[in-house]
Chains A and B, each alone.
Chain A
Amino acid sequence: MNVMTPIVRDPNADKFDTRRLLAHAAEQAEDRRYEDFMIIDVDSHHYETGSYREIFQYIEDPVMRDQFVHTKGQTMMLRSTGGFQEMAGRITRYEYRNAEEAPPGARHKDITLTLKWMDSMGIDVACVFPTPMLGLGLNPIVEVEVQYARAYNRWLTEHILAHEPRIVSMLYLPMNDPVAALKMVEDFSGRQGVVGFLITTVRYKPLYNNVYMKLYAALEERGLPLAFHAATNWGDQSMNITNRFIASHALGFTWFNIVHMTNWVVNGIPERFPGLKSIWIESGLAWIPFLMQRLDNEYMMRSSEAPSLKRKPSDYMRGMYYTSQPMEMIGNRTMLEETFNMINAETQLVYASDYPHWDMDLPSTIYDLPFLSLQAKKNILGENARKLFKLDTILSPEKQARLKARAA
């Protein structure tokens, strides 16, 4: 019998390192030869909390700036969109990520750490979004949303996007102040790495209101997509009767996009702004066939209540874009395949990891689906988003090196 010398390690003694945590993701990337095509992650996150000191300095109102500094950001946290993402220590990166070091140098730590997980997964370009800001739309102080969003967008574009072409973003819109939201588009579109703008959908002002028409027109004129990012609000009256985070999360992250999508369609916004492309983020996929069927059924009886529509609601929804994560993969692959068919996934679905959040999806969740053609996989993992964001085709230096090694 052979006695061999293995590599043996104690994982509890390892210093936290993203490359170590995601070593299996890197193996998947190599095994599947992701270097053969571009992968774009349309929704990933960073924790802007680590850069609060820098961001707060961009808050223009000096009184509010002092508030943020002294509350260490709690000024923004008057809301209930948090939860127990770290699962009481089970998802280890929540506890240890702050301790991860980045080598000192010219690069911002956020850039270094973001590229680490991107390279592990084989992602070439990531569209990043902050984390606590997902609930900023609930803040009762309108100026807090406006001031903080503007400060964050300035910090992000100046410190991150301007220095790393592989990181892009759709910038936060402070929708509680429609004039400020429009000004955000006017001031920030065209900056390096700004590929669109984004509405967090945990909010209670209807997005069909006439006050937003100039905003939508501005985006349409510029050819910039508008994204809708879901979250949950445990303080919402309906969510308030759930007592476990799994319930609030499973329902909330679909519910807020369902409400805004329904309003968006029945008020004829896609008909009024046919050139405005929309992306619906982080609600999974199962809600889309449900809503298509539900709205079509009612529309055929009550078309008089949605007279600006020229087609069925599902026809408009089929022309929109959806991010893949968190994809419902457990239990029924036939349903998943039919969902892909119903949403024209080959052209309308865009991959998202949501990393580093607890329910992140790797590119293999798409790549390993047996019912997709290779071209469909490439479209969903990168090509659809590349066209949507008008990006050049680029491969990460690691993937270029792998291609070179293969050719040698």
Chain B
Amino acid sequence: MAQVFVCSELEMKDGDVRIVRQDRVEVGVYRHEGSYYAYRNQCLHQGGPACEGIIRNKVVDLFGADRSFLGQTYDEKEPHIVCPWHGWEYKLKTGECAPDPKLRLKRHDVVQREGGIYVVI
């Protein structure tokens, strides 16, 4: 295991992602609300580049008190990583597959030191 330099802390703002490749291992490093998250860039479905798609908040159905359907909205507290190949969605904060939490992207540790961001690969 080694700490691989990603970029300086100043380079990434909230919502940004960087893909780090070390030999044949690719990791997506995210900054979200000041925190950093890193996952293997490998969708559990067909091996797509899961971290190279868009980030889209979880979609939720809205129901009234009588359980009638009112519409849909986004849950801004739950951003999802979306694999661009087929649309598989993963929770950005945990790497869990949104429709099946038994599945999870491999997580990598992120280290901040001396103004730099490093990911452990």
User: What is A's interface to B at a CB cutoff of 8 Å?
Assistant: 1-12, 21, 23-25, 27-28, 87-93, 358-362, 364-365
Contacts and interface: CB of A to CB of B under 8 A. Distances in A.
A364 B85 CA distance: 14
Contacts of A27: 24
Interface residues of B, number: 31
Contacts of A92: 53-54, 84
Given A91-B86, A358-B86, A364 B17 contact: no
Nearest to B2: A2
B84 A10 contact: no
B54 A89 contact: yes
Task: Name which of A2, A8, A21, A27 has the most chain B CB atoms within 10 A of its CB.
Answer: A8
Contacts of A362: 46-47
Interface in B48-91: 48-49, 51-54, 56, 82, 84-87
Interface in B16-37: 16-22, 24
Contacts of A89: 54, 56
B41 to A, nearest CB: 8
Contact of B2 (A3, A23, A90): A3
Contacts of A88: 56
Given A8-B18, A9-B18, A361-B46, A93 B24 contact: no
Contacts of B4: 3-4, 6
Contacts of B121: 6
A4 B5 CA distance: 7
A24 to B, nearest CB: 5
B48 A24 contact: yes
B46 A91 contact: no
Contact of A90 (B5, B6, B21, B84): B84
Contacts of B7: 8
A162 to B, nearest CB: 32
A8 B17 CA distance: 10
B87 A360 contact: no
A10 B2 contact: no
B3 A359 contact: no
Task: Name which of A1, A2, A11, A88 has the most chain B CB atoms within 10 A of its CB.
Answer: A11
A9 B19 contact: yes
A358 B87 contact: yes
B42 A90 contact: no
B46 A364 contact: yes
Contacts of A7: 20-22
A21 B50 CA distance: 11
Task: Name which of B6, B46, B51 has the most chain A CB atoms within 10 A of its CB.
Answer: B46
A9 B7 CA distance: 10
10 contacts: A2-B3, A4-B4, A5-B5, A7-B20, A11-B19, A11-B49, A21-B84, A24-B48, A89-B54, A362-B46
Given A8-B18, A360-B85, A90 B54 contact: yes
A90 B53 contact: yes
Contacts of A12: 16-17
Given A1-B2, A8-B6, 16 more contacts: A3-B118, A4-B22, A5-B5, A6-B121, A8-B18, A8-B20, A9-B18, A10-B16, A11-B19, A21-B84, A25-B47, A87-B87, A92-B53, A92-B84, A362-B46, A364-B47
